Structure formats: C-alpha cells, structure tokens
Amino acid sequence: MNSTTVLLIVHGLLAVALLGALTHQALSVWAPARKPAVSFVGRFRAVPGAGYANAVVVLYLLAALLGAIIYPEYRISVRTVLQQLELRPAEGAFEVKEHFAAIGLGLLPAYWYYWRLPLAPEHARTRAMLTSILAFIVWFGFLVGHVLNNIRGFGV
C-alpha cells in the first residue's frame, strides 16, 4: 500500500468522524429532544451540540489538510483518467467538492464563535445554518470522494 492510499484512508476516517459529529449537532439544533430520549433517533438528536464544536473545527482542518496533501496525486493519476473516459459529471463533482470544502474553511471561525458557551439564544438560527452548511459540505465531499475512489482509486 503506498503512502497516498494510507493518507486517503485516514482522510476518509476523519471525514466519517466529522460526519458523525456534524450530523449529531445539526439534528440537535433542528430537532432538539424535548423529553428523555428512548429511541435510537431520539438519542441521536439529544446530544449537547456545543460539545462538538471544537472537535468539528479540528477534524475539518485535519481532513482538509490531508485532502490538500493527496490532491496532487488526484490531479495526476485520477483526473486524467476521468478525462480520458469522458466522465464529465464525476470530474465536475470533484470540482464542486473542492470549492465547497474551501468555502467551508472560511466558515469555521464564525461556526466556532457562535458555538461558544454560553450559547446566545439570539444566534440560534445562525448556529443552525452554519452547522447545516458544514454538514452538507462534508456529506457531499464524502459521497463524491467515495464514488470517485470507486471509479479510480490511487492503487496499491
């Protein structure tokens, strides 16, 4: 297994952790549990969202850093294959992913600021939207990355 493949796996694992944190947090702000949760979904959304903010920022930065490190290999080994096979939607999906991820980076300071304790009730909508956008970006990036890896991985 080459180093790029190892980094890609770690990148994917960080994304999974990030997905979990952001999805928990997004559900906790849009559909907070009103009573002690008994079901799986109820417990999933009953988390204290603020407790995830620091972890989300660190995980996002680490996932982005690893993505940036393996990106050149994608440009050389994967994108050229997508172009040769004329898989324009797959190529375009990665372009969208890279720009969404970049925009997510710019949201991190605001996201972190509005999740600071004690939570300001007047900024609940801002917190919810920032969290949802980051969750969407990470879900989109994860799915696109997964599909692209199925089309053409980095090899062994």
Partner 1 sequence: MTAPSVIVFAVVYAIAYLICVEGNYALFTYHPAINEFGMGVQKAKDGPAMYWYGWLATSGIVAGIAGALATLLPQGAARHLWPASTWVVALAAMAAFCWLLKGFFLR
Enumerate binding residues for partner 1 (CB under 8 A). 68, 71-73, 75-76, 79, 88-89, 91-93, 95-96, 98-100, 102-103, 105-107, 109-110, 112-114, 123, 125-126, 129-130, 133
Give 41 or 96: the residue with its C-beta nearer to partner 1: 96
Give 76 or 156: the residue with its C-beta nearer to partner 1: 76
Q: Least CB distance from residue 1 to partner 1, whole Å?
A: 21
Cα 111 to chain centroid distance, Å, stands at 14
Q: Least CB distance from residue 61 to partner 1, whole Å?
A: 12
C-alpha distances (whole Å) from 103 to each of 11, 67, 73, 106, 130 are: 18, 14, 22, 5, 11
The whole-angstrom separation of Cα 20 and Cα 25 is: 8
C-alpha distances (whole Å) from 69 to each of 61, 64, 99, 103, 121 are: 12, 9, 16, 18, 39
The whole-angstrom separation of Cα 109 and Cα 81 is: 37
Give 99 or 146: the residue with its C-beta nearer to partner 1: 99
Give yes or no for a contact between 43 and 37, defined as CB atoms under 8 angstroms apart. yes
Give yes or no for a contact between 25 and 119, defined as CB atoms under 8 angstroms apart. no
Q: Least CB distance from residue 76 to partner 1, whole Å?
A: 6
Give 27 or 90: the residue with its C-beta nearer to partner 1: 90
Q: Least CB distance from residue 74 to partner 1, whole Å?
A: 9
Give 37 or 57: the residue with its C-beta nearer to partner 1: 57
Q: Least CB distance from residue 92 to partner 1, whole Å?
A: 2
